[in-house]
Amino acid sequence: MSGPVQGFSKLSKEEKIQWVAQNYTHNPEQTTALLKKYWNTDTQLQKLHDEFIENTITNFYLPFGVAPNFQINGKRYTLPMAIEESSVVAAASKAAKFWLTRGGFRTRILGTEKVGQVHFLFKGEFDRLEQFFKSVKPRLISEATPITANMEKRGGGITQIELRDKSKELPDYYQLHCTFETLDAMGANFINSCLEQFAKTLKDAAQEFEAFSPEEKNLEVVMSILSNYVPNCVVRAEVSCPVSELNEDDGIAPETFAEKIIQAVRIAEIEPYRAVTHNKGIMNGIDSVVLATGNDFRAIEAGVHAYASRDGQYRSLTHAKVENDTFRLWIDVPLALGTVGGLTSLHPMVKLALEMLHHPKATDLMQIVAVAGLAQNFAALRSLVTTGIQRGHMKMHLLNILNQLGATEEEKLKMVDYFKTHTATHSAVVEAFQKLRAN
């Protein structure tokens, strides 16, 4: 193939499949059959999914699991989780059950501020730019009224517009740094629409500003876009209990267990190599609920990791301590989530997930998602400082290996039983399976 493929998006779904199968696979017939096998037989439902993105040729499944027994601020939840990693839902459920009898999870919203910026170039005197900004600020807000009116009726809208001088870092570069309250919406569309209007007003008003020189009047907007870094849209989730109640079934004294967890968290607070994996475990919980509830997990990931390095070094999102014989583990995490707009009223599984969570407001969902992250961190640390992670992981991964080996249901039962008392590694499973087949 040479040169770009023309008009690909205009081809029918069948034609696209044919093109992919013939150009990129060894067995076009098999490929076509596989792709079609994943189509939903309900044509309306399939059409809905086809139209989420461009060039859809089939669906890509992720398991949708549930983790029960979460008590959050005294209320019981079962968390919907969409994730492929075998041990995540089991770990979440285990942590939820552990804390259920120890007061459950408590959460608090620390802020809900969203951010967007207009990035522009200005060649001239900063004093005059400041003067201009002061005069144009009311107009920025008033000309955005058609966009903000509805949000304002509900109690949200633009909360601040600031002029920021970045010209020391990049010549002639300035920003309108804007903050918003977007209530139950994640707010990307609202914020981007406001910003694009600000940019237009800024350019028009600069042309009209008499104190500006001709060069200053030609203020140039580079781009207008929301920021996924939301250090003031943060939720805290925590668990705590008397150290003596940290009774473990892993043969370790509660005091030692508490100390080990605290040590593990300290390591993740000061050591970036460990912090990344520590936070990855937290994201196992966070992403799976974010995905199940139709939110943008890439935005969440980007924002969370930026927050984890806000002082210049990448650090743990969770913290732990013992004070007055009480063990406490908590997380502060930025989560710009929505429970209206986007996929929330479109994707049937997302609608179901939100229904399971009692139709949460965005701030409720922030708290639930933070809890999922904290639970996952507790479960990981608990395994890491006691039995090691592999025991649980391999137990969950066992079925994947058996499926790869083509085990029958009866063989699977026998193998699961066998590995209750044997250490499961990939080679041990293969060996045991071969023996079983040989008998």
Q: Cite the active site residues.
A: 85, 280, 296, 393
Choices 113-121, 244-252, 277-285, 362-370; region in contact with ligand MEV by CB under 6 A: 277-285
CB of 61 to ligand MEV, least distance (A): 20
| Nearest residue to 31 via CA among 48, 42, 16, 50 | 16
Residue 63: both structure tokens together: 């398991």
Choices 230-238, 274-282, 327-335, 427-435; region in contact with ligand MEV by CB under 6 A: 274-282
Q: Is 361 an interacting residue with respect to ligand MEV (CB under 6 A)?
A: no
* Cα separations in angstroms, 30 against 21, 34, 242, 331, 428: 9, 6, 59, 48, 33
Nearer to ligand MEV, 16 or 278 (CB): 278
CB of 196 to ligand MEV, least distance (A): 39
CB of 430 to ligand MEV, least distance (A): 23
Q: Is 148 an interacting residue with respect to ligand MEV (CB under 6 A)?
A: no
Select from 380, 394, 407, 424 the one that contacts ligand MEV (CB under 6 A): 380
Choices 57-65, 245-253, 273-281, 286-294; region in contact with ligand MEV by CB under 6 A: 273-281
Select from 75, 76, 134, 280 the one that contacts ligand MEV (CB under 6 A): 280
Binding to ligand MEV (CB under 6 A): which residues in 79-98?
85
CB of 427 to ligand MEV, least distance (A): 21
Provide, for the chain, the percentages of residues in helix, strand and coil under a 3-state DSSP scheme, each rounded to the nearest 5: 50, 20, 30
Residue 314: both structure tokens together: 């990448």
Could you give the CA distance from residue 401 to residue 418 in angstroms, rounded to a whole number? 14
Q: Is 278 an interacting residue with respect to ligand MEV (CB under 6 A)?
A: yes
Could you give the CA distance from residue 373 to residue 387 in angstroms, rounded to a whole number? 21
* 364-378 b/e (C-beta count within 10 Å ≥ 16 → b): bbbbbbbbbbbbbbb
Select from 281, 285, 303, 338 the one that contacts ligand MEV (CB under 6 A): 281
Beta strand 326-334 pairing with 318-323: antiparallel
Select from 11, 276, 343, 389 the one that contacts ligand MEV (CB under 6 A): 389
Could you give the CA distance from residue 368 to residue 278 in angstroms, rounded to a whole number? 19
For residue 340, which amino acid is it? V
Could you give the CA distance from residue 366 to residue 350 in angstroms, rounded to a whole number? 16
| Token pair 């583990």 in the structure block, residue | 329
Could you give the CA distance from residue 333 to residue 318 in angstroms, rounded to a whole number? 9
| Secondary structure string (H, E, C) spanning 380-411 | HHHHHCCCCCHHHHHHHHHHHHHHHCCCCHHH
Choices 62-70, 113-121, 191-199, 275-283; region in contact with ligand MEV by CB under 6 A: 275-283
Residue nearest to ligand MEV (CB): 281
Q: Is 318 an interacting residue with respect to ligand MEV (CB under 6 A)?
A: no
Q: Is 284 an interacting residue with respect to ligand MEV (CB under 6 A)?
A: yes
Q: Is 400 an interacting residue with respect to ligand MEV (CB under 6 A)?
A: no
The 8-class DSSP code of residue 308 comes to: H
Binding site for ligand MEV (CB under 6 A): 85, 277-278, 280-281, 284, 380, 384, 389
